[in-house]
Amino acid sequence: MLADAPLPRSERRRVTVMFADLVGFTSIAEQLDAEAVHRLINTCFDRLVPIIEHYGGVVDKFIGDAIMAIFGAPLAHEDDPIRAVHAASAMLAAIAELSQQEGLELGLHIGINTGVVIAGGIGSLGRQQYSVIGDAVNLAARLQDLASNAEILVGPETQRMTAHVFDYAALGEKAIKGRSEHVAVFKLRGLNPRPSSGRGIKGLQSPMVGRHGELESLLAVTADLSKQRGRVVMAVGEAGIGKSRLLTEWRNQSFEQLPQVVWYEARCLSYTQESAYALLRDLVRSLIGVSINDGEDDMAAALHQIATALLLDQADQVIPALSHLLLLPASRRFDELSPQALQALYISAVRRLVLAQGQHTPVIWSIEDIHWADEASVDVLQNLLQLHNDIPLVILATSRPDREVVGWRLVESARDLSGLELNLAPLSLANGRELIANLLHFDGLPEHLRTAILNKADGNPFFVEEVIRTLIDREAIMHDGNSWVALEAINHIELPDSVHGLLAARIDRLPSELRQLLHIAAVIGRRFAIRVVAEVLGSTAEKMTNSIDLLVDRELLRRDRTNPNGYLRFRHALVHEVVYSTTLQTERRRLHGVVGETLEALYPSRREELAAALANHFMHAEHPKAFEYALLAGDVAYRQYALREAIRHYERAHDLSHHYDLPLSVVRGLYLNYARATELIGETKQALDLYQHVLERCESEHDTESLIIVLIEHARLLMLPSHHRDLDRSRSETTRALELATQQGDRQSEARCYWLLALIEGHLSRFTAAEPWGEKALSLARELGMRELQAYCLNDFHRVAINNGQPELAERMLREAIELWRSLNNLPMLADSLSGMADFYYSRRDLDQAVRYAREAERLALMIGNAWNLGFSRSVLGGIALETGDIQQALHMFQSSIEQSSLSGPIMLNMYGRTELIRLYRMLGDYQAALDVLEAGEAYIEQVNDEALIALRQLFIAMRLLITIEQTSQDPAELSETIRHILSFELGEQQVVAGVMLRVIHIELCLKLGDYGHAERLVAEIVEQLSALWFGGSLVSNYRARLAAAQGKLAEAIEFSEVLINEQPAGDIHDLWRFRAWRAEWLEAQGQFTLAVSERQHAQRLIQHISGNILRDELRERFLGLPLVQATLQEPSSSFII
């Protein structure tokens, strides 16, 4: 440990380096004896060195007749660059004066540069001298060489940091020896004629200033909470702007305003950004009243107690999932769940617990620093935000205004929910003055000094406080027992150019043992366990008490609110960043390694929870364990469905794997999960590349077991609709995997291969060929007890049963799948089967059952954040709304289905939503909207290499032509050649829905063209395809009636229309109004006026119902302007419309 190896003095520092060389000294020395030369050079140095020291610099070394001086090491000042330039100016004047006094032609040329160096002992063991080395030193020396007599040249960094004080002439970009790139060089001309100030002050505590409006808004939220109304609140502002202080004030006053409120706190930490569910875990600990430092038994007991008290006999429905989230050992049975299922369990369990809590008392969640939130927690919290609508719950989160971080999604979600957003602006000058006066308890500072503080702090309360504390540390202001008194020296203290410089200056003034403690803590992270620091130091927490108290008193550290005796935090992120950045890189590497080993030794049972932190430490330490922990962190995140976090860890493990000779079993595990996680976020090409890489290695090492596994996964991905779909190769690899599995006696892999072969045939619409493969897969899965594969087979192959005309079998399969998913706690797939059942009942025209299953699927999908099933359930709900005449709901549901399926990737679902929306807009007369949706759909499917989408492409072509005819009222005869070309498309064995939709549009084109024979053949094909489905009667009767009317066979048309009306459910309003309108026209033409009036009245009522459910005025007018609608609403006429 470090007790045996004291922290070296060497560190990274930002310093200003000066080289000053006497001009003319060599020629003078040639004319003098050695004793006179010795006296002269010492006289020169006697004049120059005190000036350097006066301005806080130190002489690093004398090099002949030159001096190297350092400003900023070993002790930093916030204005070191300014001090160096001031000293250089004074040194030029001193040498000029000496030259005049001695009657000699002496001069001085100086080079100054600012930058990062390595500062510490330089030299052999036992003969080391404090110095600095680095490129910044070399550039200062080159600038001195470049300078002429009586010139001071500075580098770009020095000029930038001192330009507000000094005036410079830009000499342009200069070639500097030893540097590949030119450097901007500046010559000092003197003081800036219009300098800006940089002076400061210091203090302690103040009441909250300048946030009374925000506080009143929060107290209004508390008042609403007392009336059972919840809210989502986001407090957004830069670091140090006062977000945490505002929360503290609100918390204190909320308890006074609403004593019964229960307040839970969670916070994000910078080093847990890649630890899946770190924030959610912290929140759940707060919900059950424990801290991370509590033992597993205490956590389990607290969880059981809270859950039982709130949920009574339903507690067992949440305890296992929350135990797993808290990484308690008794919950390992969930490890086999898919990441999606696990995340859904977490959402459901937390939701149940919070809803139960909210039934008893108002609740406030306070979540700080979501700009450091992990992605998995953000995904869950986005689903939980809406809880404020169900119970008296306020969710308040604070964030920096960083729109690039994943936590910003919570801010955007809050906006979508009309949440309260408080954007904390910098303090006004008046508020800043008040803050300074409050901190110092007096208002007698010189005006220029107070203005300088406010200008530098730029309205940031933290920066104001830091400036004041720096002045107190320097004893520029002192406490006389009653108040703070400004000393005379205050006028000579420059304000730091940045908070970084300010904090570095404060830290430099600490004793070495405190700086050592801070350096170790900074390597651990912003928040750190006292026990870990003590172990690294080879000390104990008790022995460190005094040091900790000093650092807390100086407000560099603060005790953690949740565990003040066990954990400390850097008071601000900037303090942590400054300390870490000044640690030498070699020392950082060593410390990261020591910290990693310490965490392993102290917390052997928490490897999974700490995997991300351990991977980070060992990676920075360049230790081989980095790969092990990066892989473990990826696996943990993957199991919890934190996919992007898993990918980041896998990428790190992948990069590290090249440095080690790893066995194939380890590489296979990495690549399979890495590829699967990449696939699940839609990066199919990268996933295929990963599978291909490990596939080639399996081949080269002749590892049959691994080869079977990888072939199955690769084939499965090649089968799915994407830009890279290759069904032939998918079949080939599946067949090969099946042969190898059969040879090896690997029956589980055989079952998976049968499942894949059935799916491949299904994707090619070869349902007869798919059936035996599906039966083999399901039978073998049952025999081997592969319950998850059973559920997948039942869920996937019910569609084969539907297409093969076996609806009763399809229903039984879905019911069994639903039962299996419930028992497996696989909520995403449960939602999928529920949506499938809703779609099944919708196709059977059992709308009540369809709505029940669709709503359950929708609720579940919303709860677990599953976009695919949200899109699926809403597509069914859209169809139901359309048939019941709720046009606005239908539009909303179809649009939402398209959006959700675009997010999750299922192409056929996306296309179904688009075609239904096109049909709806077309029926409402909004042809341009229909074309817009159509064009977007064409662009979408053109990106996908999928033979099964050929029918959809042809459907869009036919739809476009039909819409164009209807929109422009163009004579179909003029487009006969185009229509016949489209009708010539070979309609082979397509999926039922796609095939029927395509034939329907072809029939519409035939009616336009007058090709009734072709239309009748298409109707016959529909009859054959739809023998098992609901619209095998009503759809066919529709077109038989219209074909008969078009050919003048009105009696036959009336007969078919009567069959249609009897078959059509009463709720199918959208289609029924047209049927009745046509039937009225046909009856009237046949002289059956009484029946015609009755039918027209039916149609008119349906039209009024539909128009009343169209909220957009423009769309309603388009619908009411359709020729058929107008004809129906007017007096009876002798014309009829097809």
Q: 1059-1102, pLDDT tens digit by residue?
A: 777 765 544 566 778 888 888 889 989 989 999 899 899 889 88
Find, among 862, 318, 344, the residue nearest to 640 by Cα.
344
Q: Compute and round to an integer the Cα radius of gyration of the chain.
A: 39
Neighbours of 847 (CB within 10 A): 20
Confidence (pLDDT) at 494: 43
Residue 208: partners with Cβ closer than 8 Å, 6 or more residues away = 215, 242, 245, 246, 249
Residues above pLDDT 70, as percent of the chain: 86
Spatial separation of the C-alpha atoms in residues 1020 and 1022, rounded to whole Å = 5
Mean pLDDT of 249-266: 91
The DSSP code for 494 is B
Backbone φ and ψ of 128, nearest 5° = -85, 150
Selected from 3.30.70.1230, 1.10.287.310, 3.40.50.880, 3.40.640.10, the CATH number assigned to the domain covering 11-191 reads 3.30.70.1230
Looking only at the bridges linking them, the beta strands covering 107-122 and 152-154 are parallel
Mean pLDDT of 893-919: 81
pLDDT at 998 over 90: no
Place of tokens 């083999």: 776
3-state SS, residue 109: strand
Find the DSSP H helices in 949-1088.
950-968, 976-983, 992-1009, 1012-1025, 1031-1046, 1050-1063, 1069-1085
**Cα distances (Å, whole numbers) of residue 305 to 299, 316, 325, 360, 552:** 10, 12, 17, 16, 36
DSSP of 979-1014, one letter per residue?
HHHHHTS---S--HHHHHHHHHHHHHHHHHHT-HHH
Spatial separation of the C-alpha atoms in residues 823 and 841, rounded to whole Å = 23
pLDDT at 986 over 70: no
Q: 327-366, pLDDT tens digit by residue?
A: 888 666 777 778 888 888 999 999 999 999 988 899 999 9
Confidence (pLDDT) at 534: 92
Range with lowest mean pLDDT among 310-324, 492-506, 597-611, 787-801: 492-506
Mean pLDDT of 999-1008: 85
Predicted confidence band of residue 201 (pLDDT cuts 50, 70, 90): very low
Q: How many CA atoms lie within 13 A of 236 on its CB side?
A: 19
Residue 197: partners with Cβ closer than 8 Å, 6 or more residues away = 448, 451, 452, 455, 495
pLDDT at 226 over 70: yes
Predicted confidence band of residue 1106 (pLDDT cuts 50, 70, 90): confident
The larger pLDDT score, comparing residue 602 to residue 560, is at 602
Question: Phi-psi category of 210—alpha, beta or left, where left has phi over 0 and alpha has psi -120 to 50?
Answer: left
Q: 584-626, pLDDT tens digit by residue?
A: 788 889 999 999 999 999 999 999 999 999 999 999 999 999 9
Confidence (pLDDT) at 765: 72
pLDDT at 234 over 70: yes
**Cα distances (Å, whole numbers) of residue 86 to 18, 52, 165, 190, 500:** 11, 9, 10, 10, 22
Q: How many CA atoms lie within 13 A of 581 on its CB side?
A: 15
pLDDT at 496 over 50: no
As beta bridge partners, residue 19 has 68, 111
DSSP of 568-606, one letter per residue?
EEESSHHHHHHHHHHS-HHHHHHHHHHHHHHHHHH-GGG
* Highest mean pLDDT pick, 812-816, 980-984, 1110-1114: 812-816
pLDDT at 497 over 50: no
Confidence (pLDDT) at 489: 47
Spatial separation of the C-alpha atoms in residues 23 and 738, rounded to whole Å = 87
Spatial separation of the C-alpha atoms in residues 1065 and 1069, rounded to whole Å = 9
Per-domain boundaries in the chain: 11-191, 228-423, 429-498, 510-540+552-573, 589-662, 1058-1138
User: In this structure, what token pair is assigned to residue 1073?
Assistant: 């109004």
Predicted confidence band of residue 475 (pLDDT cuts 50, 70, 90): low
Spatial separation of the C-alpha atoms in residues 211 and 218, rounded to whole Å = 11
Confidence (pLDDT) at 732: 95
Q: Contact, 367 vs 393, CB < 8 A?
A: no
Q: How many CA atoms lie within 13 A of 547 on its CB side?
A: 21
Q: 929-972, pLDDT tens digit by residue?
A: 999 989 888 887 776 655 556 777 788 888 888 888 888 877 77
Neighbours of 309 (CB within 10 A): 12
Place of tokens 């032939």: 728
**With 0-12 CB in 10 A as exposed, 13-18 as middle and 19+ as buried, what is 994?**
buried
Spatial separation of the C-alpha atoms in residues 691 and 676, rounded to whole Å = 9
The larger pLDDT score, comparing residue 855 to residue 669, is at 855
Q: Contact, 36 vs 94, CB < 8 A?
A: no
H or E element in which residue 121 lies: strand 107-122
Confidence (pLDDT) at 469: 67
The DSSP code for 490 is G
Q: Contact, 1035 vs 813, CB < 8 A?
A: no
pLDDT at 395 over 80: yes
Q: 629-650, pLDDT tens digit by residue?
A: 999 999 888 877 677 888 999 9
Spatial separation of the C-alpha atoms in residues 886 and 881, rounded to whole Å = 5
**Mean confidence (pLDDT) of the chain:** 84
Domain 228-423 coded CATH 1.10.10: no
